[in-house]
Chain A
Amino acid sequence: MKFRGKAHKFGDDVNTDYIISGKYKFKTLDMRELASHVMEDLDPDFARKVKPGDFIVAGKNFGCGSSREQAPLAIKYADVSAVLAKSFARIFYRNAINTGLPVVECDTDRIEAGDELEVDLEKGVIRNLTRGTEIAIKPLPGVMLRILSDGGLAAHFRKHGGFNLE
């Protein structure tokens, strides 16, 4: 999996309420509708600015807070191709993999807002095309790679009739 797009930068501890507010998520299962409010409390224009393939780039502990799976889904349905962060909160990280949103742990200090990036998940590298630099990706745990390569946990279950991780 290889993605190319622009970096949209956020800080540390971006919580799930900021990703998609509780006031929207309880109302609907229409993820396109939720995607129109993604990151709204941090950047009211984000949903309009983001282009298909772009990246959310953040600091540490991205996705802390609630267990709402609407958070990775709202990001995915906003056509963001991957989230790059220094670290992720545990439940968000699982939810992202389960729903097929690539999450990448890496040193995001070397990426500025607006940088053009190419993320190569197979080779485990991010190419910062604006700055001509390369950033290594911390590899996904084996279990998560299996789930992601099956297309998410639902697809994994359909394929194997249950967990097939051990």
Chain B
Amino acid sequence: MGQTIIEKILSAKSGRDVHAGEITVAAVDYIMGQDGTSPLAIRAFHDMNGRALFDPEKVALVIDHSAPSPNEGVSNLHSLMREFVRETGCRLYDVGDGVCHQLMLESGDIGPGRLVIGADSHTCTYGALNCFATGVGSTDLAAALISGRMWFKVPPTVRFVCHGTLPAGVYSKDLILYLIGQVTADGATYMAAEYTGEAIGALSMEARFTISNMAIEMGAKAGLMEADEKTFAWVRRFGDRAFTAVSADPDAEYARVLEFDVSSLEPQVAKPHRVDNVAPISEVAGRPIQEAVIGTCTNGRLEDLHIAAAILRGRKISRDVRFIVAPASRRIYLEAMADGTLADLVEAGAAVVTPGCGPCVGTHNGVPSDGEAVISTANRNFKGRMGNSKAEIYLASPATVSVSALTGVITDPRELVKQVKV
């Protein structure tokens, strides 16, 4: 019987052929924890009588969710992580280095065929690099830190075949929001999502990461893509490790195959308070907003900042809007500084904050006030997500967020995008 991408990776890492539905214990290639989850993992590590990491070269801890620390409670948890890193010899990314997922994508350690776990639900982002990457909790993480292994139920795969070409002003963010709206928040629970078709192939790696990042918002365990020359160009840019592409067999079995034509897709917006509460922009245009956020593991990459800068260059944002920009990593921050992107954004009215997760997870750096509406490039709009349950969050592409920051109301970006030729 043929195998899907995830069945092949799990077979290779288990040392035996496995198919959907089977339980297997597999070897893990890389492990990541962040500051919201690592402190509990360190506690579980000690609780399991853990003494050493299975391989310190394959473990990274990242301080990004509340970085720099906004209060003494967080500071003490950060200290606990730094001490653990000193004791065990694993890699630490500290305040200012960036969002954990972007750092993993830039590490050179993660690429086709790898099995990666991270104590963060958006670990599925790396699936765009043709690997199996999934989010786990702190206790699972601790077990893997000690043993280098993790148990999995091999998931069935739901295949999203995306045909056509995205119109100008419509981006991968709009596509993934649309797909989530179609299948809903639990449409792929316990499954691997696989995204394929010429519309996916035409996207840059950065745009593909946005899609895999949000696989978890349909409940999926992984958000996989095939490897092509763009995949290998990306991993070569960050290291010289050897990777081999993993492709599905022609007779692989899928739980569902869904076909879409993206050629007439409109910009999409997820309305409060659910990610699958998706509407075309025409339905929500005109809604006043008080805060606009560009950043996060979904859309804080250089390409996203370039889109924002092209729209905002030489313009001023609405006086009624706070515009917060968080580059996803130090590397992106430096690149955006060097090519003038950040100057354009700051000139237009942006407040640039430390690379990290703050605004998205409500820890600091832009908590909205009661009754306010925020438009953000993030991946979740749950009530209270940004730290205030009396605020409303709309999710959209960097272009939609930028144009909305200009006008002060949710605005279709297509007109302006045509003018500035993003």
Contacts and interface: CB of A to CB of B under 8 A. Distances in A.
A132 to B, nearest CB: 32
Contacts of A23: 362-363, 367, 384, 387
Interface stretch (B142-150, B234-242, B408-416): B142-150
A41 B389 CA distance: 6
Interface residues of B, number: 54
Interface in B106-158: 119-121, 123, 135-140, 142-143, 146-147, 149, 151, 153
Q: Is chain A's binding surface mostly helix, strand, loop or mixed?
A: loop
Contacts of A128: none
B274 A13 contact: yes
Contacts of B24: 166
Contacts of B120: 66-67
A100 B389 CA distance: 29
A48 interface: no
A81 interface: no
B43 interface: yes
Contacts of A87: 186, 189
Given A60-B186, A165-B151, A67 B137 contact: yes
Contact of A27 (B49, B71, B137, B274): B71
B126 to A, nearest CB: 15
Contacts of B47: 154, 158
B163 interface: no
B23 A141 contact: yes
Contacts of A15: 380, 382
B272 interface: no
A165 B152 CA distance: 11
Interface string B176-217: 000000000110011000000000000000000000000000
Contact of A165 (B25, B135, B185): B25
Given A64-B185, A68-B37, A90-B219, A26 B65 contact: yes
Contacts of B121: 65-67, 91
A25 interface: yes
B265 interface: no
Interface in A131-155: 141-143, 152-154
Contacts of A65: 121, 380, 382
Contact of A94 (B40, B140, B382): B140
Contact of B49 (A90, A94, A158): A158
Nearest to A27: B73
Contacts of B40: 29, 69-70, 73
A26 B74 contact: yes
B86 to A, nearest CB: 19
Interface string A13-41: 10101100111011111000000000011
B36 A26 contact: yes
B334 interface: no
Contacts of B384: 17-18, 21, 23, 41
Contacts of B349: none
Given A26-B74, A141-B23, A153-B140, A69 B383 contact: no
A157 B51 CA distance: 13
Contacts of B66: 26
A61 B189 contact: yes
B252 interface: no
A162 B146 contact: yes
B112 to A, nearest CB: 24
Contacts of A40: 389
A22 B387 CA distance: 7
20 contacts: A13-B185, A15-B380, A17-B384, A17-B385, A21-B387, A22-B65, A26-B35, A26-B36, A60-B186, A61-B185, A61-B189, A67-B123, A69-B37, A69-B137, A94-B137, A141-B153, A153-B140, A157-B143, A158-B49, A165-B25
Top 10 closest A-B pairs, CB basis?
Answer: A95-B137, A27-B73, A61-B186, A98-B139, A69-B137, A157-B48, A67-B135, A41-B389, A41-B384, A154-B47
